[in-house]
Structure 1
Amino acid sequence: MAKIVITGGTGLVGKRLTEMLVDKNHEVVILSRNPSSKNEFKWDLSTKELDEKALKNSDYIIHLAGAGIADERWSEERKKVIIDSRVQSANFLFDKIKELKIDLKGFISASGVGFYGAITSDKIFKETDKAGNDFLADVCIKWEQAAQQFSTKNIPVTILRTGIVLAEKGGALDKMKTPIISPLGSGKQYLPWIHIDDLCEQYISAVEGSLIGVFNAAAPEHHTSVSFSKALAKSIKRPFIGICVPAFMLKLLFGELAIILLEGSRISAKKVTDTNFKFKFPTLKKALEDFN
């Protein structure tokens, strides 16, 4: 049994991960700006406040905290919030770990497949491929650099570059369940995706020792906007219309943020499967069936 501190523990992934870790008899502590449960402890980046009891005797930190990428249009102010919420929080934790002399067994951080850039290409991106050069790539580069500083204290670091997380309630899938299902933009862009339980199992594998390093957290089956939309429509028994929602409409609605809807490439899952990790939901059909 390990003591695991989670930032962003009240979010979509954090809640499910907490349940699954507790089921495996791990102790979970959540850092929250508004603690309301006995396993939640106060932290506030704006005031540099952290209840140090949360970190005492901790074995792992799982860093999920970060302002939602798709929650608001990307003004310059919003872009700063997106980066700072990830980077400054990791820096704050690093300083506290040093100050309190916490002997962590591992620091495990979220990142995104946006690391490779918001582009549509024939390439299947592996962990060794270079970063993109747009805003999302910049977010992920800085996010990962903040996590990697823990390795300077001989703390093993694991980073999961995550695709679209599919869950029964909340997250991207809820927003996709429109009365009529249509692909977006060209329809040819890929949507790297992962079932929330498979993602959480990867975090658990990092805690239990078999995942150390940088890994793509995306299912091995690839889907374009068209094929994903067809599968979703069939699964929830809603009409599918093959006429794509025009790119200009999405750009009017979402501004620069629309790029995450309009571009996407395939992401390789080979590195994680080579560790003998087994996806419970390797196909979209199986993942969607789990939610019905």
Structure 2
Amino acid sequence: MQKILITGGSGLIGKAITQLLEEQGKEVAWLSRNPEKYAQKAYYWDPVQYKIDQESLYWAEGIIHLAGEGVADKRWTESRKKDILESRVKSSRLLFEELEKVKDKPKAFVSSSAVGYYGFDTGDKLIYEGEPPGRDFLAKVVKEWESEVEKIQEIKIRTVIFRTGIVLAKDGGALKEMLKPPVAAPLGSGRQYMSWIHLQDLARMFIFALENHGLSGIYNAVGPVPVTNSVLTERAASFKDKPFVKIGVPAFALKLLLGEMAQMVLGGNRVSSEKIEGTGFKFNYGDLNQALQQIFH
């Protein structure tokens, strides 16, 4: 597979995947509402308006689908929640409907999803792919998103869905937010589990799924050793030489600050990576200290 089309290519994960693919000599194009804005080869689409340059789907041998409004970017008003849901559902539906018309279809379709599927808080229980969905807003979003993506399998395109955990990276994602305040502190009790994955491992996992014909269906995209919020915050602070206090930011303060979104950081999931590891995928940064060492040094 030499020609890979990426939706959401300009985001943190999309850029990391693009760089790895290009290092391997692959051609990469993005689907974008503003294709002229990027140096990257890009085709026009607007999922909200249900428009796409059909040429992109004839060009692509494989597709990576990451598009969706940022879940943690803004406070969850009703209209923001609608954008979060529709950006994922409509973009996936548009791709399915347009791919159906393409005679020589791409060989593989790899989509992002989220461990939010399992619900905001599943406690200490180790969670596998077969668990039922949660009942909160994000779980509902992920469930609808996945059911749109799964239709692509029906048109004879091998489809893989990755339920992504908390992505650790230097220039964005959770770490940047956690280490913003002058002093790092756990959120709420700090005992909630965070199923994290290093950005480079996640990017490699997407490419592994494109190239590995034996992969289809749903996999958790998390590292092998989930840790509590308190442990992750303390270790990240020490690698960043930042002071850490053990007293957690109170739940009520987070609720005032973030509204409904606070449930996302106060809850947690301890998610298993066993299924993806069973396919032969190997983590380069499976240990938290290794991951943080690479990010901060």
| TM-score interval, normalised by the smaller of the two chains | over 0.9
Number of the residue aligned with 1:250:
254
Separation of aligned partners in 2, 1:84 and 1:64: 14
Q: Deviations over 1:209-230 (max 9, x none)?
A: 1532211011111211111111
Name whichever of 49-58 and 203-212 sits farther off. Answer: 49-58
Tell me how many residue pairs correspond in the alignment. 292
Aligned partner letter, 2:288: L
Given that 1:164 and 1:172 are in contact with CA atoms closer than 8 Å, whether structure 2 keeps it comes out as yes
Q: Deviations over 1:259-285 (max 9, x none)?
A: 111000200011111111110000111
Number of the residue aligned with 1:127:
129
C-alpha displacement at 1:26, in angstroms?
Answer: 1.8
Q: Are 2:13 and 1:13 equivalent residues in the alignment?
A: yes
Q: Are 2:276 and 1:276 equivalent residues in the alignment?
A: no
Q: Could you say if the C-alpha distance between residues 187 and 93 of structure 1 is closer, same or farther in structure 2, counting changes exceeding 3 Å? A: same
Number of the residue aligned with 2:244:
240
Q: Deviations over 1:67-91 (max 9, x none)?
A: 0001111122111110110010011
Number of the residue aligned with 1:267:
271
Aligned partner letter, 1:92: L
Moved over 3 A (4+): none
Name whichever of 242-251 and 203-212 sits farther off. Answer: 203-212
Number of the residue aligned with 2:156:
154
Given that 1:120 and 1:189 are in contact with CA atoms closer than 8 Å, whether structure 2 keeps it comes out as no
Separation of aligned partners in 2, 1:14 and 1:240: 32
1:113-124 pair list within 5 angstroms: 113-124=115-126
Number of the residue aligned with 1:139:
141
Number of the residue aligned with 1:184:
187
Number of the residue aligned with 1:217:
221
Separation of aligned partners in 1, 2:85 and 2:79: 10
Residue 281 of structure 2: SS of its match in structure 1?
A: coil
Name whichever of 4-13 and 101-110 sits farther off. Answer: 101-110
Separation of aligned partners in 2, 1:3 and 1:230: 42
Given that 2:236 and 2:292 are in contact with CA atoms closer than 8 Å, whether structure 1 keeps it comes out as yes
Given that 1:6 and 1:28 are in contact with CA atoms closer than 8 Å, whether structure 2 keeps it comes out as yes
Instruction: Give me the identity figure in percent.
Output: 45
The TM-score, its normalising length taken from structure 1, stands at 0.97
Residue 56 of structure 1: SS of its match in structure 2?
A: helix
Number of the residue aligned with 1:40:
42
C-alpha displacement at 1:123, in angstroms?
Answer: 0.9
Q: Deviations over 1:141-184 (max 9, x none)?
A: 01110110011112111000001111111222111113211001
Given that 2:127 and 2:271 are in contact with CA atoms closer than 8 Å, whether structure 1 keeps it comes out as yes
Separation of aligned partners in 2, 1:239 and 1:221: 24
Name whichever of 163-172 and 207-216 sits farther off. Answer: 207-216
User: Unmatched 5+ residue regions in structure 1?
Assistant: none
Given that 2:124 and 2:193 are in contact with CA atoms closer than 8 Å, whether structure 1 keeps it comes out as no
Number of the residue aligned with 1:74:
76
Q: Could you say if the C-alpha distance between residues 195 and 32 of structure 1 is closer, same or farther in structure 2, counting changes exceeding 3 Å? A: same
Q: Are 2:15 and 1:25 equivalent residues in the alignment?
A: no
Separation of aligned partners in 2, 1:265 and 1:141: 17
Aligned partner letter, 1:242: K
Separation of aligned partners in 2, 1:86 and 1:102: 25
Separation of aligned partners in 1, 2:87 and 2:39: 23
Residue 148 of structure 2: SS of its match in structure 1?
A: helix
Number of the residue aligned with 1:2:
2
Given that 1:199 and 1:217 are in contact with CA atoms closer than 8 Å, whether structure 2 keeps it comes out as yes
Given that 1:57 and 1:102 are in contact with CA atoms closer than 8 Å, whether structure 2 keeps it comes out as no
Separation of aligned partners in 2, 1:48 and 1:230: 45
Aligned partner letter, 1:126: Y
Given that 2:8 and 2:67 are in contact with CA atoms closer than 8 Å, whether structure 1 keeps it comes out as yes
